[in-house]
Amino acid sequence: MKKIIVLVSVILLSSQSIFSQKETTVVTIKNSESAPIINKNIYGHFAEHLGRCIYGGFFVGDTSKIPNTNGVRNDIIKALKELKIPNLRWPGGCFADTYHWKDGIGPKENRPTIVNQWWGGVTEDNSFGTHDFLNLCELLGTEPYLAGNMGSGTVQEMADWVQYVNFNGKSPMSDLRVKNGRKEPWKVKIWGVGNEAWGCGGNMTADYYAGEYRKYATFMSDWSNSGGLMRVASGASSDDYNWTETLMKNIPNQMLGGVALHHYSVIDWAKKGDGVDFDEDLYFKTMKQALKMEELVTKHSAIMDKYDPNKKIALVVDEWGGWYEVEKGSNPGFLYQQNTMRDAVLAGATLNVFNNHAERVRMANLAQCVNVLQAVILTDKTKMLLTPTYYIMQMYSVHQDAKLLPLTINSPSYTFNGESLPALSASASKDKNGLVHISLVNVDSKKPNTIEIDLNELGIKSVSGVIVTSSKLQDHNTFDNPTKIQPAVFKGFQIKKGKLEVVIPPFSVVTLEGK
């Protein structure tokens, strides 16, 4: 019999006894030949010239005493390789529509400086540019996703950037690339045509942006990628469904590779709440915003289906995550925040949504990779730590390029102050080796949940597991205690008559492997 492995990722929220919950939630998993592949690019990341993401994060310079490769920290390279990140978006964000790529090529001492007008008004010296980023992607074995400047740039500027990085023949831009030390093109396939055009990217209307997109896309020629470029249109903010409708109606399908969507789990833009010192009210409100992703993806996908019934155009959620007040004493423009078990729950629930909508959602980018917003890595000079979100992304990486297994779950409710949310979410997949993985998230901050999964048709006889847990929802890793939250052996499950019963303890992330 072929071996089948089941991975169950469960995210939970307190320290109550795992054996106090009697009600059982049955998860039914179905094999489906028509189910889509979960595109690995759903597990993408985002690196913007913002705060300490690039400078003081990824990039310390090649003269730094911190071990590095061409100025990029070796410990970050190692951590991201182990995370198997499939793509990395750069240079923004809002920064992208102020970025002129030619400022970041050639001898570093000759590069001009600019002011980062969006993020703290700091001086940007352009010491980390196109070559640095694309060479980093090669080191990581990840696909680069370049966000082009439509807001303050020109059509010619973006067309030249495509030629510079992709053209293998003789041309002004490819000659310039060779002069700057790179003979072979990088063959960048994924390109963002502007960013947040409705806001920092130019305060455009949807109709105006659709016309500009058509013009830019026309001149973004490619010669190096089979199938051409994947052009990603600047899409809607959260529930602006008119934006998606206008783009899908006014831009020919053949010009669109993807339409973006941005949604942050923010309780109030004027008063976002603390990243660590939060109560259950703030937690509930944050998770309410996070779980809204299901509604957003469903409704934006339905609009896209009207104009693209064959689902050839991807929904690209290239900015998502939790957004709180900055850490006390840090620069407000640097968006540096801590990362607690709340963020682990948020990440798991969101990734389940993306997995279950894999036929339309084919790329996403967590914001952001290092030292900004819901980062997977934090640094402090020579020190580096991995956040709870890092471990969730690592756990869910088993779904990359695996076949979706449709499932049903009748979730109990998580109720607070008279409002209710689904306490559980789930997604499942089968990889090319026949291994089955199931991810479950418990959103309830107090009650454990018992889940039952029928293993008979999966042929599973034995199960082992690991757990990530802590004593409080607000717990997090610090530079003084960087391993407070990390995986440990988990034994809170049993198999009875071919059925797996998992008692999901609050405040935990569980991975079960069955053979």
**Per-residue pLDDT at 5:** 43
Mean pLDDT of 337-354: 96
Band (14; pLDDT cuts 50, 70, 90): very low
CB 395 within 8 A of CB 490: no
Residue 297 CB: number of other CB atoms within 10 A?
22
**Amino acid at site 331:** N
Task: Give the burial class of 223: count Cβ atoms within 10 A of its Cβ; 0-12 exposed, 13-18 middle, 19 or more buried.
Answer: middle
**Per-residue pLDDT at 440:** 87
Mean pLDDT of 99-127: 95
How high does pLDDT run on average in the chain? 92
Q: Is 33 among the catalytic positions? A: no
Pick the closest to residue 426 from 502, 315, 317, 316 (CA basis): 502
**Per-residue pLDDT at 224:** 72
Pick the closest to residue 360 from 291, 427, 312 (CA basis): 312
pLDDT at 253 > cutoff 90? yes
Least confident of 5-19, 332-346, 431-445: 5-19
User: Of 48, 124, 143, 196, which one is the catalytic site residue?
Assistant: 196
**Per-residue pLDDT at 2:** 41
**Per-residue pLDDT at 30:** 87
Mean pLDDT of 292-306: 98
What are the tens digits of pLDDT across the range 57-98? 999 999 999 999 999 999 999 999 999 999 999 999 999 999
Band (22; pLDDT cuts 50, 70, 90): low
Q: Tokens 């795992």 — which residue?
A: 18
**Per-residue pLDDT at 10:** 47
Mean pLDDT of 105-133: 95
Band (510; pLDDT cuts 50, 70, 90): confident
CB 135 within 8 A of CB 70: yes
Mean pLDDT of 398-405: 95
What are the tens digits of pLDDT across the range 439-456? 888 999 999 999 998 887
pLDDT at 8 > cutoff 50? no
Instruction: Give me 331's structure tokens.
Output: 């620069």
Task: Give me the percent of the chain exceeding a pLDDT of 90.
Answer: 80
As a whole number of angstroms, the distance between CA 43 and CA 41 comes to 5
Q: What is residue 179's three-state secondary structure?
A: helix
Band (226; pLDDT cuts 50, 70, 90): low
**Per-residue pLDDT at 130:** 98
- CATH node for 40-401: 3.20.20.80
Pick the closest to residue 259 from 323, 207, 210 (CA basis): 210
pLDDT at 12 > cutoff 50? no
* Within this chain, domains 6-36+405-514 and 40-401 share the same CATH topology: no
User: Of 48, 124, 143, 319, which one is the catalytic site residue?
Assistant: 319
The better pLDDT of the pair 502, 206 is held by 206
CB 30 within 8 A of CB 461: no
Fold (CATH) for 6-36+405-514? Immunoglobulin-like (2.60.40)
Q: Is 319 among the catalytic positions? A: yes
**Per-residue pLDDT at 187:** 94
Domain locations along the chain: 6-36+405-514, 40-401
